[in-house]
Structures are given as C-alpha cells and as structure tokens.
Amino acid sequence: MDAALVLGLLEHLEQRGIYVWLDGGWAVDALLEQQTRPHDDLDLVSRFEDSDRIAVALGERGYVVGYRAPRSCFVLIDPAGHQVDVHPAAFAANGDGVYTMENGEDWIFPAAGFAGVGRILGREVPCLTPEVMLVNHTTGYELDAEHERDVRALSERYALPLPRYERA
C-alpha cells in the first residue's frame, strides 16, 4: 500500500465527515515524516459509531468486508488486495477510547493519545501519539525485527525511553 493511496483513503473518509487516527506502521512512518518500509495494510482507530459508515465509504472505493469480529475490529479489502484494518473505540466521558479486542478484553487508548499529528508526503495526518505508539508496539506480543526498528526509531526521534518488551 503506497502513501498516495493512504492519503486518498483518508481524504475520502474526511469528505464524508468520518475522522480516524492512523495506527500501526503508517502511524510510525507519519510520525517519522518518512516512509521507512513497505506496508501491507493501513491500521486505523475510529469511533465505534462510525464503523458502518467507514465500511460504506470505503465500499465506494471498491473495498468489501473481509473479516469482522463482533464489537471489535474489521478488515476491508479492495480488489487489488489492499487491506484497511479498523479498530473502533467507544469514547468515554474523559476522552479515553475503549477498544474491545477479539478476546473480549478492553484496550484503553488514553485521551491524550489521540493528539498525534504526523506527515505523509508532506500532508498532516491524524495519528496516535508517539507515546501511545510505543505502548501499542510493545504490549501483548513479541516484537519482530520490523517492529523493533519502529520502536527504536520513535524512541530516538521523540527522545522517549524504550519500554521493556519481549523480542521475537
């Protein structure tokens, strides 16, 4: 998935009043303001109530639901095989985003974590903050070499301490 496609999808959603935050590899690259590696997919965090609207909006671009977990994530796939992984969060009164994982546990995105701004091809894009990205990338699974590079790059760029994590 290339940067122009990512920007096109974000603009398409924004034109329909749907606002999302980048997560995953594209969020890392946006925060670093350069593409550091190829990406197979685009990870988005959205408002839970926008889930159906996202599926409809991206359906206009040829995406179909390839996978959907009740009250959790869903994956949209276009005919070329590009994937958009959507992680809908219900927002609490304090601004925290509560994402229900497939195992039924809740993952809390702190309210301040939605203030991230990165750049793709020079355009500002909303994303999770570097602090939240470090937690997301180092919690719950062993890091492969690619994700370890992401974590180190964010840590260095933003002068953040490296969290403890397991290596794959």
pLDDT single digits (tens) 20-71: 999 999 999 999 999 999 999 999 999 999 999 999 999 999 999 999 887 7
CA angle, 120 as apex, 123 and 83 as ends, to 5°? 125
Task: Compute the distance between CA of residue 43 and CA of residue 109 in angstroms, rounded to an integer.
Answer: 15
| H or E element in which residue 151 lies | helix 145-158
Could you tell me the pLDDT band of residue 121, with boundaries at 50, 70 and 90?
very high
Could you tell me the pLDDT band of residue 165, with boundaries at 50, 70 and 90?
low
* DSSP class per residue in 118-140: EEETTEEEEE--HHHHHHHHHSS
Could you tell me the pLDDT band of residue 72, with boundaries at 50, 70 and 90?
confident
Average pLDDT in the chain: 94
Residue type for position 120: I
pLDDT for the residue 71 = 76
Q: Which fold has domain 3-129?
A: Beta Polymerase; domain 2 (3.30.460)
Residue ranges covered by each domain of the chain: 3-129
pLDDT for the residue 113 = 98
pLDDT for the residue 137 = 79
Q: What are the Cα distances from residue 9, in Å, to 13, 96, 134?
A: 6, 25, 25
- Give the tens place of pLDDT for each residue, 141-159: 678 889 899 999 999 999 9
* Mean pLDDT score, 86-111: 95
pLDDT for the residue 9 = 99
pLDDT for the residue 139 = 79
